[in-house]
């Protein structure tokens, strides 16, 4: 676990996207070589804290948020780090490059990151082929999003196509309508529009041979009444869970040189707003759907705060950039202690 402390200065000397690509490549290698995978499991043994949710058995409450492994390249390596679940994506129907580089920026002083990646994806066919060889010892979710060039008015067709492809392969699906980096996407998370998008998805899901749980990921930037309306629309449509939250457009408290870059902000500057939105979602849901807490988990205390606010499961991503894999076990142990 001390290894990351040695590697971090080297990674931080690189362009953030290059550093991310190298870390994912290392995870792919580890996943492909059984002795390396076994060594990692000894270094970061997975916390045994099983929880039943969505008709699934999660080995523990800590998962990887969408955005790290967009194309399911490193699933075996990620499972060896001790995650209870891994959410891949965002996956789009067809390959697309995302936004021009540079598009990923560290705010080191604030332990935060700004990204404007814009759903770079190898496409559903490539990801589906990898999922057919997925590891069986970790819950795998797929985060799905519309193609950049698909008009918002026809977005439901993209999501339906992705549902058809991944329902047989994923343990659950998360509908991403809250990324700030795809033009017009957040229009879909307003109450009426969200209901019109999610209802056909839930209906088609119920017609399929295999029932796959459907979640929706919401923004921390919604006004309180709009957040309530989005939760109500999701529940009325038959959605099984809500991920709260995605990244924020706010720059409150940001003073780093990169603070004025456009895109979604994650990390420590998001923690308070994300947890407040999560608490409102959980209160509105009132145990009628799963609530997943994501956004600004950089310590076990942050993970515990998500759980206290009503999250059954907790996801992290930016915390890995600043803390490394030890954050996974620390958070899982803290959440396990809350249930004993």
Catalytic residues: 179
d(CA 236, CA 285) in angstroms, rounded, equals: 11
- Interior CA angle at 308 toward 304 and 311, to 5°? 90
Structure token digits, residue 269: 């500057």
d(CA 140, CA 100) in angstroms, rounded, equals: 29
List the one residue out of 165, 157, 166 whose CA is nearest residue 196.
Answer: 157
Which residues neighbour 241 within 8 Å (Cβ) at sequence distance 6 or greater?
A: 53, 54, 172, 213, 214, 215, 216, 289, 290, 291, 292
In the block, which residue shows the tokens 């205390």?
301
The helix/strand/coil state of 285 is helix
d(CA 297, CA 327) in angstroms, rounded, equals: 9
The strand pairing partners of 91, in sequence order, are: 144
């Amino acid at each position: 676990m001390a290894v990351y402390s040695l590697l971090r200065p080297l990674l931080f000397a690189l362009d953030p996207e290059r550093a991310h690509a190298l870390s994912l490549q290392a995870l792919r290698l580890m996943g492909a070589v059984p002795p390396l995978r076994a060594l990692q499991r000894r270094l970061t043994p997975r916390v045994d804290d099983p929880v039943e949710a969505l008709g699934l058995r999660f080995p523990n409450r800590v998962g990887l948020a969408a955005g790290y492994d967009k194309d399911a390249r490193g699933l075996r390596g990620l499972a060896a780090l001790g995650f209870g679940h891994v959410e891949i994506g965002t996956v789009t129907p067809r390959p697309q490059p995302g936004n021009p580089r540079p598009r990923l920026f560290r705010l080191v002083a604030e332990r935060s990151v700004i990204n404007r990646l814009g759903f770079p994806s190898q496409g559903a066919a490539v990801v589906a082929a990898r999922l057919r060889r997925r590891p069986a010892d970790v819950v795998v979710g797929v985060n799905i999003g519309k193609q950049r060039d698909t008009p918002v008015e026809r977005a439901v067709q993209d999501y339906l196509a992705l549902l058809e492809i991944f329902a047989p392969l994923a343990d659950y699906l998360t509908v991403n309508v809250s990324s700030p980096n795809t033009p017009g996407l957040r229009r879909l998370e307003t109450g009426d529009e969200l209901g019109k998008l999610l209802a056909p998805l839930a209906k088609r899901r119920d017609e399929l041979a295999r029932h796959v749980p459907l979640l929706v990921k919401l923004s921390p930037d919604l006004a309180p009444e709009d957040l309530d309306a989005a939760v109500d629309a999701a529940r009325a449509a038959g959605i099984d869970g809500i991920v709260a939250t995605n990244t924020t457009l706010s720059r409150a408290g940001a003073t780093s040189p990169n603070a004025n870059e456009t895109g979604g902000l994650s990390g420590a500057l998001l923690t308070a707003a994300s947890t407040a939105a999560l608490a409102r979602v959980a209160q509105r849901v009132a145990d009628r759907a799963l609530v997943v807490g994501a956004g600004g988990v950089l310590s076990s205390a942050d993970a515990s705060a998500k759980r206290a606010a009503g999250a059954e499961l907790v996801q992290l991503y930016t915390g890995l950039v600043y803390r490394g894999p030890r954050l996974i076990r620390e958070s899982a142990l803290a959440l396990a202690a809350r249930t004993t």
